Structure 1
């Protein structure tokens, strides 16, 4: 079983103490996003948890504590989003130079093979035209050399809540940005992959990728895994199946483009209810929920995965 922690919130930044308590106790309850009266219960043990994928914009609370996770017998890697956007789009994030320092420290502790750099989403505004993205990527890519093994990009989708000031890039802008990113990444030796993109950018050296990636997990584990594509994601998504243990409306970063938060008031209420000792994110169970045991089986086949 692959654990996603989490597409729905930033567990490393805000809920790491909760996460460690869940790993120690060996299970978590997962709120049903569509029915508050139902919870899923998933076992969290190294016997059935093949790999944990941490999604984050600030894993500073985890620095210096990775050895404890490893000592429990868990394998993991990070999807670390680091862009050059300002507080107009990412109001809750600290200074980007501090985040860059955190990226370097995490890479040093976990290893560059376990820290993916996410340069996403690519958004077009008057302040952030295509030229800005090309310059920003080149500047960041130079610093990333040797600190990550791959970069994942995506172009923002047209979510209704984005407003008129933010838009998805036009086809010609995508081509222009992809051409520049492909050349820059090749120069610095950082492979680039797309996340859930319909566009084929392979002619620019950018391949279709997956964030929860079978090949990457097999390399980390040193053995093959038997797992299917995640049918719960968009059709363009290449991720394999995983169990997400997060909860919506529990991330306090407040990014303008985020799809995982609804209204600011809902985030304040649910975030403030989060408790490190609770078995679930977003507060404590009421006690009258229907709890369904999620199937948890290891996906390792035992067959060795030879390094390329």
Structure 2
């Protein structure tokens, strides 16, 4: 199995010690986000974990603890935009994050750190010219620290529409997406970056831009897992190219305060849930209740030829 850590929250920034505890204990409990009373027990035995995919805007806390991931195959999706605190409220400075990116790439290798420039949103401040300049600046700074950049355009989920309206934020039109992508492709070529889109229906192959698989079985195989017989993740959107994985995060637990975030409802609710965090608890920012239904999730290695062993 592949572990997602996580689309739902920033585990490297806030909960990395918890993850290390779970790996040491070799299991984790995960609430079903669609039915909070359903809890799965997921084995994390090393022979079952084919890879770990990290999503983060600030993985600085992991830098001194990477040795504890020895024996696991993993890579990082590092989201690095050039928005100010009106959009991404509680992140370290851009310079600090650029420094973290470089240090992480130096520690684990450039193939293990993918740059995400997403979501791309527009308003009077963050217009097309802004994004073209910001992307070029970041690409120049990150040259030599990564091999691939994944871009995506803003999706307007119902839960975030009020936040977006407050800042007059909108997604780019199809024409604007193509204009930005064209300029990004020129910049990416200049700095020897592969460019791909995340869960986008727009076709940009003529610009040299492919569709990404953010949970990428082929990348994990190159990094050391061996060939994985992984199917497309049926729980993601049709445009998503990811293979199947198990996300061990929890919604409403990230404190970055990004106005576009689909994983959070409100900051008071996040603060309240974060207060429940216990680094030794098998559930993230939660505890098992009497009315919860706990079941053992059937998991197996995706390594070709190994499924029958576990």
The TM-score with structure 2 as length reference comes to: 0.95
2:195 is aligned with 1:192? yes
Deviation at residue 302 of structure 1 after TM alignment = 5.9
Deviation at residue 264 of structure 1 after TM alignment = 2.0
RMSD over equivalenced CA pairs, Å = 1.2
Deviation at residue 237 of structure 1 after TM alignment = 0.2
Would you say the 8 A contact 1:6–1:53 is kept in 2? yes
Pairwise mapping of residues 79-94 of structure 1 onto structure 2 (< 5 A)? 79-94=77-92
* Aligned counterpart, 1:135: 133
**1:229-286 C-alpha deviation (Å, 9 max, x unpaired):** 0010011000000000000001011100000001222211111111101101122212
| Long gaps (5+) in structure 2 | none
2: CA distance, partners of 1:62 / 1:109: 11
* Aligned counterpart, 2:244: 241
| Long gaps (5+) in structure 1 | 304-308
Would you say the 8 A contact 2:120–2:153 is kept in 1? yes
Deviation at residue 222 of structure 1 after TM alignment = 5.4
Deviation at residue 40 of structure 1 after TM alignment = 0.7
Would you say the 8 A contact 1:75–1:220 is kept in 2? yes
2: CA distance, partners of 1:193 / 1:104: 21
Would you say the 8 A contact 2:143–2:191 is kept in 1? yes
Would you say the 8 A contact 2:73–2:225 is kept in 1? no
Pairwise mapping of residues 43-58 of structure 1 onto structure 2 (< 5 A)? 43-58=43-58
| Alignment match of 2:269 (pick from 249, 266, 283) | 266
* Aligned counterpart, 2:156: 158
2: CA distance, partners of 1:187 / 1:155: 22
**1:170-200 C-alpha deviation (Å, 9 max, x unpaired):** 1111111011000110111000110000000
Deviation at residue 216 of structure 1 after TM alignment = 1.0
* Aligned counterpart, 1:145: 143
Would you say the 8 A contact 1:156–1:168 is kept in 2? yes
2:223 is aligned with 1:220? yes
2: CA distance, partners of 1:75 / 1:217: 7
* Aligned counterpart, 2:14: 14
| Alignment match of 2:75 (pick from 47, 61, 77) | 77
Query: Which contiguous aligned blocks of 4+ residues in structure 1 show a shift greater than 3 angstroms?
Result: none
* Aligned counterpart, 2:100: 102
| Alignment match of 1:277 (pick from 276, 280, 294) | 280
2: CA distance, partners of 1:281 / 1:127: 37
| Alignment match of 2:210 (pick from 186, 203, 207) | 207
2: CA distance, partners of 1:173 / 1:250: 33
2: CA distance, partners of 1:209 / 1:142: 22
2: CA distance, partners of 1:30 / 1:64: 27
State which drifts further: 289-298 or 244-253: 289-298
* Aligned counterpart, 2:176: 173
SS at match of 1:87: coil
Pairwise mapping of residues 292-303 of structure 1 onto structure 2 (< 5 A)? 292-301=295-304
Would you say the 8 A contact 1:223–1:302 is kept in 2? no
Would you say the 8 A contact 1:27–1:279 is kept in 2? yes
